[in-house]
């Protein structure tokens, strides 16, 4: 958006602290495995 850091302090704090996971009944085992692998790769 081109806004300097600090323009939206509450949103920036939440973005640094929160992880949103896809959770819904139609998630297949393959989709769940992909999400888990992506999270594991991020933290390696």
Cβ atoms 12, 5 nearer than 8 A: yes
DSSP 26: T
Q: Is residue 4 part of a domain?
A: no
- Domain of residue 25, residue span: 20-44
Q: Is residue 34 part of a domain?
A: yes
Q: What is the pLDDT of residue 24?
A: 94
Q: What is the pLDDT of residue 29?
A: 96
Please give the C-alpha separations between residue 20 and each of 23, 35, 44, in angstroms, as whole numbers.
9, 11, 19
Cβ atoms 22, 39 nearer than 8 A: no
**Number of domains into which the chain is organized:** 1
Q: Is the pTM above the cut of 0.75? A: no
Instruction: State the 10-residue block means of pLDDT for the chain, 44 residues long.
Output: 93 94 95 96 93
């Amino acid at each position: 958006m081109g806004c300097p850091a600090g323009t939206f302090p509450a949103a920036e704090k939440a973005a640094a602290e929160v992880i949103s996971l896809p959770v819904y009944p139609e998630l297949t085992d393959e989709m769940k495995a992909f999400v888990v692998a992506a999270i594991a790769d991020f933290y390696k």
